[in-house]
Structures are given as C-alpha cells and as structure tokens.
Structure 1
Amino acid sequence: MGRVLVMLTAAAAVLACSVATVMVRRRMKRRRKWRRVVGILKDLEESCETPLGRLRQMVDAIAVEMQAGLVSEGGSKLKMLLTFVDDLPNGSERGTYYALHLGGSYFRIIRVYLGGQRSSLHVQDVERHCIPASLLNSTSEVLFDFLASSLQRFIEKEGHESISSRDVKRELAFTFSFPVKQTSLSSGVLIKWTKGFAISEMAGEDIAECLQGALNKRGLNIHVAALVNDTVGALSFGHYHDADTIAAVVFGTGSNACYLERTNAIIKCQNPRTTSGSMVVNMEWGNFWSSRLPRTSYDIELDAESLNSNDMGFEKMIGGMYLGDIVRRVILRMSQESDIFGPIPSILSTPFVLRTNSVSAMHEDDTPDLQEVARILKHLGVSKVPLKVRKLVVKICDVVTRRAARLAAAGIAGILKKVGRDGSGGGRRKSDKQTMRRTVVAVEGGLYSNYKMFREYMDEALRDILGDNVAQHVVVKAMEDGSSIGSALLVASSHSVRTIPYE
C-alpha cells in the first residue's frame, strides 16, 4: 500500500511539473509575441520621430521649394500655381451668389447673400452630400451631369419666384479641390486627379467649361463665374473677416495651402498684371517631398498600392484620407507577427476600411476600458481584445497623428518663412516685438476642426518652431464652409452690379 502511495505521489509530481512546464512555455510564448508587437510599435515611433531640429529643416526646405517654384515651371515639386486672384474681398460686396464645392469625399452647394457690410453676410442655404464611389472612375460627362442635376434640384427648392425663375441669371463659383493650372479667374485646366479620383480623359480639360456645358444642357441660366481652389476660397473668406489673413491651409481628405505673394517675386510670370501688387498662389503642397520627411515602411506600401504612386508624398502623410489606412497597416502587421488580435480577419486587409474619423474616435476615447476602441476593432473583425491591446491601438493612433500634425505645422511655418513672417527675415530679431506684424492663417477641414488631438499637436508644434516671441503674433483661425463661402465672395468682389434681387 505504501509503495502504491509513493508511485501515485511521484506521478502527481510529474504531472504537476508537466503542467507547470506547459504553463511556463505558454507564458514565455505570449511574452515573446508581446515583445514582437512592442518592437513593431517602437520601430514605428522611431521612424515617425519629428524632433524640433528636423521640423526646422523641413521649414527651410519648404521655403526653398516655394522660391524655386516661383522662378520656373517645373523647377520645384511645389507647383506654385497662379490663381489670378489679386484683390481679396473687403466686406463691401453686395448681391446673392452661389458656390458648388467638389472636394475629396463630398460635394457641397451653398447660396450666399451679401448686403455690403461684413455683418450682413448670410449663408441662406447649404447642402452637403457624399460623392458616390462610382463617380470616382466614371467619365467627365457622368460626373458633371451629376453635379448639374444636384445644382438644379438645389435651385428648384428655393421657393422664391423672383429668384427661381429661369430668366434670372445666377453667378456661380466652382470650388474645385484638385490641381488646376488657371488661365484666368474663371478658367483652368486639370493637371491631375488626387484623393482617389481617376477620370483619365479629363486631364488637360477646362474644368469650368465642363461644368458650364453640363449646366447648359439642362437649360440652367447659371454662369460659372469663377474656378477656385478650396484653399483660395478659404483665404478669401478669412480675409473678408480679417485683413491680416495672408495664408490658408486645408486639412481634410487631402491637404493643400495657398498664400498672398508679391507679384515681383513671381519670376516665372514676367508681367503678372495686378492692381494690388500681389497675387494668391496655390502651392499644391501635397506633392512636396524631402529626404527629411520621416517616411515609414507603411507609407511606402500605401504609396505603392495607391492610384498615384510616387506622387503626393506629403499629402499621404498628413491628409485625412490616409491616416486611417496607415494605422490599419500597422495593426495588420502586428496581427501577422502575433495572435494578440486573434485570427486575422479578411476585412483588415482591405485598404481604407479604417477611416480617419475612426482613428480620431479611438485616439480620443476617454472611457476607462476604451469601449470605443473595442467597438471599432469589432467592426474590423477583431473582437474580445484585452485592455492592454486596446491601449496599444490608441498609441498607434497617437504616433501616426502626432507625426502628421507636426509636419503640417512645419508646412505652415515654411509659408511664414517665405513671406518674412517667421521672425527670421529682413534682419529682424525674434525678440523685437515692434517689427513683428500680426499674421492670420485661415485653416479649414474636418481633420483640423473635428480631431482635437491633431489640432493640439499642430498648434503646439507651430509654437515650438516659431518660438514664443513670434508665435504670439501668429493667429491660426479655424473656419467652417470657408472655402465655399469665400469662393462666392470672390465672384462678388469681381462684380460691380447685383445679379439677382436682394431678399
């Protein structure tokens, strides 16, 4: 009996050792997997680093590229396009005007009434719609007929006989958020599509004429009076309310900037005739590139798989269309290296399935157990994720967004440096407050207005780059619908008579 007891005890000890060994191995395996994931995050952080020294190098590089783009066509990655906008609105404009804005993921139609004073600007109607995915690679005829039919329905709903009559000619600003080489205020040819659009036969076509033709086919008495980049519209609106506004930046689906430049600095155009001595220049800064940009393997993969590979490198690091997909690619890489997210769902391999508004929601999730992170991951096919893994996802969002925001700040500082508003030009000292002029930069776009962490990181980086003595003179003003309203204001400022009755 004693012998049997000894054998049972020995067997139990062996079993216990075996179980303990298995548990230890599993624990070690989990730790190895976790270390691999943490290693991926660390590599991401190091690749996305934007120390102040690097940002200031970016500022210098952008200012140099701006100058090169003003000297000659093709002399820079920045196209530095002339807009033929010289006299910006000042508040005396009168009349009722329309604007149709074709952006990256939406289009918007507005009607604006101007009573001759800044306080009498009234946006009387606004419609905003998502752009059907089928239009992104359709034909120009289909795209512009869709826009014309939408505008027609907008006008038919006005309900005022004096305004809705076909006999009344309406003046329309076409806000077009894509690279265009302007030939006048109201005409310009498409250089290329961005933001997922791919209608090949439109390259080189006059965009205003395309819309005007679609409107004429429907018998609409509407005149496309201005073709305006969205950044130029934002600058127009900013200047209407504050004459110190000298630049505008859009952070939305894509990103771009424009600013007010002296005409004698635009060397590639020998005699740009303006009454003000200045002209708004559309930078098309999404195409900026520098070896100093903190590019990761995820950026390279995204670019290679995009419709416009080897193009728009800056925009793909800071544009709202792309931030979500960068985060998705990091999560996918971690899933491939470890099972911390469980089995890899097929949806996680779908480009752009994770949108930037979801990144914002996860990044700013303040619930104790990160419920919003869990909900969004479940939508991606990843469920029952431990809290520490959810925290890891929040960190990924933070790293990607912080890089984007700090690069955006460097872009704005580059513009200020070019126009001598960064405190470093003309022999001025940063400590000399009297020589610093108040400078306003108008900013529009959902990425800036709706994503608190992006906004805070950008504003913080801009202050760091400029220094406190200069930053106190620089005002970043957020606005809503500014590009559309500002485009209508540009039409109004170029007309001396009312086109339709006041209401």
Structure 2
Amino acid sequence: MEVYDPEIDFPEAWKLLQPFMLSNETLISIRNSMSRELQNGLLRDMHARSSIPCLLSYVQNLPTGHERGRFLALEMWPTNCRIMLVKFSSERDVYMSSKCVIVPHTVAASRGTTLFNFLAHNIAIFVRDKKVEKDNLPMGIAFAFELNKLALDVGILVRWTKGYGAQGAVGKNIVKLLQNALDEYKDIRINLNSVVNISAGTLMALSWSYPNCKIGLIVGTSTNAAYVEQTDACQMFEGNTKQPLMIINTEWRNFGANGHLDFIRNEFDKLVDAVSSEPGMKFYEKCISTLYLGELVRLIVVRLMKMGVIFKGASMDYFDIQWKMEMKSIMAIESDPPNVYTSAQLVMEKFRIRNCSERDLATLRFICHIVSLRSAQLVAAGVACLINRMNYPNISIAVDGGVYRLFPTYQIHLNKYTLMLTNPHNKFKYVISEDSPGVGAAIVAGIASKVKVIESID
C-alpha cells in the first residue's frame, strides 16, 4: 500500500485546494469578525447593518429539569411536519409519541390557509387518537423557516424556502394562522402559546437533561446557532428585563454579507454561489452546509478531469451534472480506513467511472477531506465566538443535523478547532441532540403556560 503525500503525488489538486486550506491566524480573524458582527446584531443602532442579526426568541426561561406533564408540539420542516405528544414524568423519563405528516406539494404550493387547514386537520386527528383533545394542553411550534419574532407567540413569516408557495402566509403571524385553523374544530381544546426556531428548540430539548447546555447548533443542509445571552445586552428587546437571560437565534448563515469572508472565498465558492437558489447571500452557509459541500467537491473534480490529471479517459457525462455529488458520498469516501479506497470506488461507480487507479481515488479522498475540514473549521470559529462571549466555565453544545452524527472525522475536526479557538478556561462538550427540536418546543410551551399562570396571580 502506497502512502501518498498530496503535495508530491497530486500536485495539481494540491495547488487547486490551497485556497481552501485555512491557517490558524485566518480562523482567529474570522472568529473575531463574527464576534463583532454578533455584538452589532444585538445593538439597536447597528442591528440593521449586521450580517449576524441576533434575533430575539422571547424564550427567557431555561428548563429546570423538573418540568412535569404533557405537552404538544408541531415541528415544521421544508419537506415534512411532525406532530408530537411529549410527556415528562421524571428527571430521566421523556415519553414521546409522534406522527410524521408529509405535506403534499399541492398543499405546500397553494394558499397559506390551505396549508394551515391541512396541518390543523392532522393535529385534530392526532389529539383525538391520543385522547387529549379536551385537555387544553400547551402546544409549541418548532419552525424551520425564517421568522421575525415579536413575542413568544408572535412569529411573522419572512419567507418560505423552495417548494413552498403558500404566499398568503408571508408577513403574517403563523401562530395565529394555525390557531384560526384549529378554531374550526369545536371538539378540540389546545393552548397554542409559542413558536421557536429549530436551533432554539434544539437548545431547549437538550438543556432539560443537560442544565449547562447553552448553545443549539444546526449543521446539516443549512446551518444556524442559538445561544443564551444576557437580557441587558439585547437592545432590541423592549419587554420584561427582570428576566436575566434570553435565547438568541443568531441566523448566522448570512455572515460574510459585509465582506468578512471575501479573503477566503475562492473561485469554486463563487461558482457555487452563482448557481445557488440565492446568489449573493448566505456566504457562511455556502462554505459549511451539506447542500453545497458536494457541489464544491464535484466542481473541483470536474476541473481536474478537464485538466487531464484525474480519471483520465473516463466519461464525464454523470460528473458534469450540477448538484449530483451528495454529502453521503463524501462521508462514504472519507469513511474508508487509511490507504483503503473501497467506498471511494463504489461512489465513483455511481458516476459510471469504473476501475479507478488508487492514486485517483486518493486524490478524490484528499479533495473531500479538505472541503469538509474547512466546513468544520468555520463552524468551530462560530461556536468559539459564542463560547468566549458567554464565558461560562463549562457548557454543553446541542448538535442537530446529520453531519456531526454520521461523520466521525467531522466530529474530530470540529472539536479540535473549537478547542484551538476557545479561551482555555471555557470548557465545552458537543452532545448529539437525541431529542428533536419539537421536544424543545413542547418544553417552551409548558414553561410559557406556567409563566402565564404566575403572571395572572401576580
């Protein structure tokens, strides 16, 4: 088995990938830029100009772990929804039953009322089935689309992602839209009282069993993070400042809009941006999320094939198809043991390229390694910026999204670079979030109904 030195053995690929290789100084510089943008996002006079808007979640109470009872949740994702009944009966015991609902394209693309009527219909079936339709259980929504939060139960829909038409809902409070649809069912009583975004839901779900959880991190087809801020620092907040904490939804995917990533964005990043559904936006996300990493790898391989230095003589018919390279292929290529290329060869066979030389497969693996390493480094810069800002001696970070769960080398890189970029006295641990964001939304709903009861007594 030959051990390859990329600089010597595949110099063309090495040269092409130089711009992807970030020095520690570069990462420190990015972390510091993120810290400044984050601070600006919290300030009233700088908020509109910041590429990290730091949106208020209006969630000011973290779970104690002593929450008990039954709560409902609706998780809304771009492709499906999940209705959940969550029961907390002891410190360690979370019982959850759920029903996944695929939203038909005809519903997603129709009017907003049609979509929310569809959801209400399925919620009605679910609560009757669970025999809780009369119980007026608190219900929260975990929402994967962009919202402008104005209160815990007011989330104005900013925009849908691809596949959703439902135009009548844009600019409206989605809690109210769902409540209106539920009101049609006279036999049902539900206390719909809150909406949170997915990263805040992830944070809340884990903090029930890990009280020191202070960050909810999403790394998947998109990226985002929520963290715990001091209410005093949130200048955009005009509510009850007696509560010391506020979960902030960073919406950091657009970091780079103010030019802070221009010095690392290379020709391949620019090509991916140009063919994406939102050119000129979400530069940070486009260097990180699974949606774009495969395309970056594909473009680099295509360039090397056209240069005649890799997979010589092979047909490019399949490799030339945009977005054809998926993240699962990159994970498979990197999952082979050192100097073994079995999975890499299987991936290439999907592209109708057979009997590859070991050197070509080693080159392919090197490309995947460098592109995914940069993703982990950039996420680490963001997470370190949050850890350093909060300055807790010890925190857990809830991670959701397939990359961290299914990609061991990514875990190693993310931990290594977060450690390098974090103040040494701030200890941290990444924890895979086993409970979905819907569990977090259920907790928020439970806390919200309790807070309301206390306020009414006051």
TM-score (norm: length of structure 1): 0.79
| 1:86/1:275 contact within 8 Å kept | no
Shift in Å at residue 210 of structure 1? 3.3
Aligned-partner Cα distance in 2 for 1:294–1:104: 30
Q: Which residue of 2 aligns with 1:360?
A: 331
**2:122 matched to 1:122?**
no
Question: 1:210 and 2:166 equivalent?
Answer: no
* Counterpart Cα distance in 2 of 1:337 and 1:139: 50
Match for residue 17 of structure 2 among 23, 36, 45: 45
User: CA 1:489 to 1:58, structure 2 compared with 1: closer, same or farther past 3 Å?
Assistant: same
Q: In 1, Cα distance between the equivalents of 2:243 and 2:78? A: 32
Kindly state the Cα deviation for residue 485 of structure 1 after the two structures are TM-superposed.
1.1
| Contact kept in structure 1, 2:193 and 2:448, CA below 8 Å | no
8 A Cα contact 2:115 2:166, kept in partner: no
Aligned to 1:55: 27
Secondary structure in 2 aligned to 1:350?
coil
Q: Residue 486 of structure 1 aligns with which residue?
A: 440
User: Do structure 1's residue 179 and structure 2's residue 146 form an aligned pair?
Assistant: yes
1:67 aligned residue? 39
2:419 matches 1:452: no
CA-to-aligned-CA distance 1:357-401 (integer Å, 9 cap, x gap)? 221111112396522222222223333322222222111110110
Q: Deviations over 1:34-55 (max 9, x none)?
A: 99x9455223421111211111
The correspondence for 2:67, drawn from 93, 96, 100, is: 93
Counterparts of residues 137-176 of structure 1 (less than 5 Å):
139-141=111-113, 143-152=115-124, 154-155=126-127, 158=130, 162-163=131-132, 166-176=133-143
User: Which shifted more, 350-359 or 208-217?
Assistant: 208-217
Is residue 66–residue 418 contact of structure 1 (8 Å, CA) maintained in 2?
A: no
Q: Secondary structure at the match of 1:310?
A: coil
Contact 1:259 1:280 in 2 (8 A): yes
Alignment map for 1:186-335 (pairs within 5 Å): 186-194=153-161, 196-197=162-163, 199=165, 201=167, 202-216=169-183, 221-269=189-237, 271-289=238-256, 290-291=260-261, 294-335=264-305
- Amino acid of the residue matched to residue 362 of structure 1? I
**Aligned pairs, number:** 439
Q: Residue 455 of structure 2 corresponds to which residue in structure 1?
A: none
Letter in 2 for 1:491: A
How large is the Cα RMSD of the aligned pairs? Answer: 3.0
Displacement of 1:494: 1.6
Q: Give the Cα–Cα distance (whole angstroms) in 2 for the partners of residues 321 and 352 of structure 1.
A: 8
Change in Cα spacing, 1:200 to 1:153, as seen in structure 2 (3 Å) is closer
CA contact 1:58–1:414 (8 Å) conserved in 2: no
Give 1:462's match in structure 2, choosing from 418, 443, 449: 418
Partners of 2:232 and 2:241 within 8 A in 1: no
TM-score normalised to structure 2 length: 0.86
- Is contact 1:65–1:76 with CA below 8 Å preserved after alignment? yes
Measure the CA separation in 2 of the matches of 1:343 and 1:323: 23
Out of 420, 444, 449, the residue aligned to residue 495 of structure 1 is: 449
SS in 1 for 2:270: helix
Q: What SS is found at the alignment partner of 1:463?
A: helix
Cα 1:492–1:74, aligned 2, differ >3 Å: closer, same or farther?
same
Change (3 A) 1:149 1:204: same
Question: 1:285-434 to 2 correspondence within 5 Å?
Answer: 285-289=252-256, 290-291=260-261, 294-338=264-308, 340=311, 342-366=313-337, 369-421=340-392
Moved more, 206-215 or 237-246: 206-215
Cα distance per residue 1:454-473 (max 9 Å; x no partner)? 11110011112226x435x2
Pick closer, same or farther for the CA change 1:127–1:328 going to 2, 3 Å.
farther
Q: CA deviation at 1:136?
A: 6.9
TM-fit CA distance, 1:221: 4.5
Structure 2: stretches of 5+ with no match in the other structure: 1-5, 452-458
Flag the 1:145–1:356 CA change in 2: closer, same or farther, 3 A. Answer: farther
Q: Can you list the C-alpha shifts for 1:58-102, whole angstroms capped at 9, x where unaligned?
A: 111111001111113313011111111101111222221122222
Q: 1:42 to 1:137 in 2, by over 3 A?
A: farther
Q: Is the 8 A contact 2:388 2:422 kept in 1?
A: no
Give the 3-state SS of the residue equivalent to 1:314 in structure 2: helix
User: CA separation in 2, counterparts of 1:291 and 1:212?
Assistant: 42
Structure of higher CA gyration radius: 1
Distance 1:85 1:118 in 2: 22
Q: Which stretch has the larger CA shift, 226-235 or 338-347? A: 338-347
Secondary structure of the 1:190 match is strand
% same residue: 23
Q: Distance in 2 between matches of 1:179 and 1:186?
A: 15
Cα distance in 2, alignment partners of residues 325 and 145 from structure 1: 37
Q: 1:44 to 1:203 in 2, by over 3 A?
A: farther
For residue 254 of structure 1, report the CA deviation from its aligned partner. Answer: 0.7
* Aligned partner (choices 411, 427, 431) of residue 477 of structure 1: 431
Distance in 2 between the 1:411 and 1:294 partners?
15
| Amino acid in structure 2 at the alignment position of 1:81 | L
Cα distance in structure 1, aligned partners of 2:270 and 2:160: 20
Cα offset for 1:142?
5.3
Of 174-183 and 211-220, more deviation after overlay is shown by 211-220
Distance in 2 of aligned mates of 1:66 and 1:298: 27
Alignment-mate amino acid for residue 414 of structure 1: C
What CA distance in whole angstroms lies between the structure 1 residues aligned with 2:119 and 2:166?
Answer: 18
- 2:3 aligned residue: none
User: Which amino acid is the alignment partner of residue 425 of structure 2?
Assistant: V
Contact 2:335 2:343 in 1 (8 A): no
CA shift in 2, pair 1:336/1:420, >3 Å: same
